[in-house]
């Protein structure tokens, strides 16, 4: 069994504290962003989009493809019903059967299962021929496990992992930003931030004008958002 893998316990409130919300979390909203970029999308695909020959479109698509990052590896996390996870890095040209072989090597007994993604739900049979890159897994993907034995699919059911694999389990890592926010913000700080949140009531009871990022002001959507 390859030792280059990680095992993580199911996350909980103690190992994954939630960060305190900041004022920046409230601007802009997803609806405002969609409205802001609606005009840009229409310019490319709408009735006012510039006319392009097939050669021009092919050249444009080729330039876009060049700007896309090229990945050589894929980090795959396999999540079990109890939310514990195992993680391993594969070559981008590897196929899904190698992920199955990895999971099989961790089990204490042979149990039938299927790997899937959701949403939308996509199942990946062991005989699928596409590479992990072709499946869209790069640079990272999380796969669920559906056991043929329905009892193992219960949220409180432990996956049938080997004892030495369970012994390697550790808490899920917390990103530096998440850890800093969760550890450095107290209740008083949170209240102060929320009191001054854009568009919300302040300590003096007055409603202040909603702040809008500079890049957002130049779009027509900023005018529509300001009227709301």
CATH code where residue 170 lies: 3.10.20.90
Q: Is the distance from CB of 84 to CB of 9 less than 8 angstroms?
A: yes
pLDDT of the residue at 43: 61
pLDDT at 12 over 70: yes
Domain range holding 112?
1-9+62-179
Helix ranges (DSSP H) in 109-217: 163-167, 176-184, 187-195, 214-217
The pLDDT of residue 141 is above 60: yes
Pairing of strands 122-124, 73-79: unpaired
In a domain, 186, yes or no: no
Distance CA 165, CA 86 (A): 9
Does 84 fall in a domain? yes
Residue 60: per-residue pLDDT:
81
* pLDDT classification of 51: cutoffs 50, 70, 90: confident
User: Does some domain include residue 37?
Assistant: no
Look at residue 180 and tell me whether its pLDDT is greater than 70.
no
| Structural domain includes residue 175 | yes
- Examine residue 74 and state whether it is found in any structural domain, yes or no: yes
User: Is pLDDT larger for residue 195 or for residue 26?
Assistant: 26
Residue 150 has pLDDT above 70, yes or no: yes
Number of structural domains in the chain: 1
Task: Work out the average pLDDT over 58-85.
Answer: 89
pLDDT band at 45 (very low <50, low <70, confident <90, very high): low
pLDDT in tens, 185-197: 444 444 444 444 4
Cα atoms in the Cβ-side hemisphere of radius 13 Å centred on 1: 15
- Per the domain annotation, does 135 fall within a domain? yes
- Nearest CA-CA partner of 145 in 160, 135, 132, 133: 160
Give the mean model confidence (pLDDT) for residues 5-17: 75
Q: Which long-range contacts (CB under 8 A, 24 or more apart) does 12-20 make?
A: 15/171, 15/172, 15/174, 16/172, 16/174, 17/174, 17/182, 17/183, 18/182, 19/177, 19/178, 19/181, 19/182, 19/185, 20/181, 20/182, 20/185, 20/186, 20/189, 20/190, 20/193
Instruction: Give the per-residue pLDDT at 67.
Output: 79
**Does residue 225 lie in a domain region?**
no
Answer whether residue 99 is part of any domain.
yes
Give the Cα separation of 21 and 24 in Å (integer): 8
Minimum mean pLDDT range among 15-29, 31-45, 181-195: 181-195
What digits encode the pLDDT tens for the residues 80-136? Answer: 999 999 999 999 999 999 999 999 999 999 999 999 998 889 999 999 999 999 999
Selected residue with higher pLDDT from 37 and 112: 112
Residue 74 CA to residue 139 CA, distance in Å, equals 5
Q: How high is the pLDDT of residue 66?
A: 79
Say what the pLDDT of residue 21 is: 55
Q: Looking at residue 17, what is its pLDDT?
A: 54
What does the pLDDT read at residue 193?
Answer: 42
pLDDT at 73 over 70: yes
Higher pLDDT, 124 or 208: 124
Quick check: 53 pLDDT over 80?
yes
Question: Locate tokens 């302040």: which residue?
Answer: 202
């Amino acid at each position: 069994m390859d030792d280059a893998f990680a095992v993580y316990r199911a996350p909980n409130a103690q190992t994954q504290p939630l960060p305190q919300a900041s004022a920046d979390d409230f601007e802009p909203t997803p609806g405002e962003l969609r409205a802001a970029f609606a005009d840009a999308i229409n310019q490319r695909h709408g009735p006012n989009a510039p006319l392009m020959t097939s050669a021009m479109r092919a050249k444009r698509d080729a330039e876009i493809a060049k700007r896309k990052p090229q990945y050589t590896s894929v980090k795959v996390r396999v999540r079990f019903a109890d939310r514990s996870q195992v993680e391993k890095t594969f070559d981008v040209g590897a196929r899904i059967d190698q992920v199955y072989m990895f999971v099989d090597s961790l089990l204490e007994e042979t149990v039938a299962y299927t790997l899937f993604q959701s949403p939308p739900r996509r199942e990946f049979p062991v005989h699928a021929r596409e590479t992990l890159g072709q499946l869209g897994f790069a640079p990272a993907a999380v796969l669920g496990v559906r056991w043929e034995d329905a009892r193992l699919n219960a949220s409180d059911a432990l996956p049938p992992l080997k004892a030495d694999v369970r012994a390697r389990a550790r808490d899920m890592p917390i990103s530096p930003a998440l850890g800093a926010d969760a550890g450095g913000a107290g209740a008083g700080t949170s209240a102060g931030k929320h009191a001054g949140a854009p568009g919300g009531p302040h300590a003096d009871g007055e409603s202040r004008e909603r702040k809008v990022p500079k890049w957002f002001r130049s779009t027509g959507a900023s005018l529509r958002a300001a009227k709301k």
